[in-house]
Amino acid sequence: MCRKTCRHWDPTLPVIYVITPTYARPVQKAELTRLSHTLMLVTNLHWIVVEDAVRKSSLVESLLMRTALNYTHLNAPTPDIHKRKASVRGVEQRNTAIKWLRNNKNSEVDNGVVYFADDDNSYTLEVFEEMRKTIEVSVWPVGLVGGLMVEKPLLNTTTGRVIGWNSAWRPDRPFPIDMAGFAVNLGHLLRHPKVEFLFNISGGFQESVFLQQLTTTERLEPKADNCTKVLVWHTRTESPKLTEENKLRKLGKQSDKGMEI
Ligand code: UGA
Ligand code: MN
């Protein structure tokens, strides 16, 4: 179940399966290092890292080996026909991880929750404890997304159920929520064998189309103190300017010769 080196493992608690698509770029190692250091502090966490690549890279492989995490390392390149569309980022990779769960986990015996954690967001430790006891689908606010400081579910204060959203960008979305703002019970996902992410979906509707297959607004389980707290931020990393590096590279004098950055 867990590698010997796993520091935080409690067989009585549900396992959190964190699915992270990732792709090669100058900041990749920095992003994955930062994320891995958060995940290493979470009990019962299984990290499924899926590279958007034809082959697994030694950069990701050795980073995973250095963590004390229980992990599965996969790769799945985004098909060429979909490559240039923004709304397909992570689709093939998340589906590959879902397939792995369907093939390796059993809805009758495996107690867990599935969370899609992009490699560039910022996560608190609390968000993982909030999602751990998800029965079907849980939701919570996400900071710095959708053109707002926070995009969040709105609750009926008497019933404590979700009745709407505060979203300003495409509020017509059935579930106007970012990928970082929900988790799905593992058994619930496995009991819906056809559910996956789809290509050919307009930008911002990826989460909605996925969630529509699994739940309804009324059934959602609000977390983070009735959706009053931000426990995850949709941060995006600026691409570094490498103008000098590119000049050096042409001369065969790149600064990272023999080094993994
Ligand atoms: C937003 C959402 O937060 C994402 O969950 C959603 O996938 C994305 O929009 C979209 O559908 O366009 P955003 O910050 O724009 O996120 O996307 P990225 O963080 O650039 O990419 C999402 C994930 O896919 C990341 O983990 C990234 O490493 C990965 N990715 C990105 C790839 O695997 N391949 C790529 O070519 C680009
Ligand atoms: Mn992102």
- Identify the CA nearest to 100 among candidates 21, 42, 182: 21
Pocket of ligand 1 (CB under 6 A): 20-23, 52, 78, 86-87, 89-90, 93, 118-120, 178-179, 206, 234, 236
- Identify the CA nearest to 136 among candidates 115, 164, 113: 113
- How much is the average pLDDT of 131-135? 98
The pLDDT mean for the chain works out to 96
Q: How many Å apart are CA 57 and CA 229, to the nearest integer?
A: 37
**pLDDT surpassing 90 at residue 12:** yes
Q: Can you list the alpha helix ranges (DSSP code H) found in 40-190?
A: 58-66, 91-104, 125-131, 186-190
pLDDT digits (tens, 9 = 90+) for 177-222: 999 999 999 999 999 999 999 999 998 999 999 999 999 999 999 9
- Identify the CA nearest to 50 among candidates 127, 120, 119: 119
203 close to 195: Cβ distance less than 8 angstroms: no
Residue 2: what pLDDT? 57
Q: How many Å apart are CA 113 and CA 203, to the nearest integer?
A: 26
pLDDT digits (tens, 9 = 90+) for 77-111: 999 888 777 778 999 999 999 999 999 999 999 99
- How much is the average pLDDT of 14-25? 98
- Identify the CA nearest to 90 among candidates 168, 23, 31: 23
**pLDDT surpassing 90 at residue 4:** no
From ligand 2's centre to the CA of 186, what distance in Å? 24
Q: Point out the ligand 1 atom lying closest to the alpha carbon of residue 92.
A: 33
- Active site members: 207
* Residue ranges per structural domain of the chain: 15-250
Sheet holding 148-151, edge to edge: 122-123, 232-233, 142-145, 148-151
Q: How confident is the model at residue 6 (pLDDT cuts 50, 70, 90)?
A: low
Residue 234: what pLDDT? 98
24 close to 53: Cβ distance less than 8 angstroms: yes
- In eight-state DSSP terms, residue 187 is H
Fold classification of 15-250 is: Spore Coat Polysaccharide Biosynthesis Protein SpsA; Chain A (3.90.550)
From ligand 1's centre to the CA of 235, what distance in Å? 11
Q: How confident is the model at residue 3 (pLDDT cuts 50, 70, 90)?
A: low
Question: Strand, coil or helix: what is 36?
Answer: helix
pLDDT digits (tens, 9 = 90+) for 102-132: 999 999 999 999 999 999 999 999 999 999 9
Residue 178: what pLDDT? 98
| Residues with a beta carbon under 5 angstroms from ion ligand 2 | 118, 120
Q: Retrieve residue 218's tokens.
A: 């009324």
Q: How many Å apart are CA 202 and CA 31, to the nearest integer?
A: 27
Which ligand is located closest to the Cα atom of residue 207?
Answer: 1
Verdict on whether the full-model pTM lies above 0.75: yes
Question: Strand, coil or helix: what is 75?
Answer: strand
**pLDDT surpassing 70 at residue 31:** yes
Q: How many Å apart are CA 74 and CA 66, to the nearest integer?
A: 17
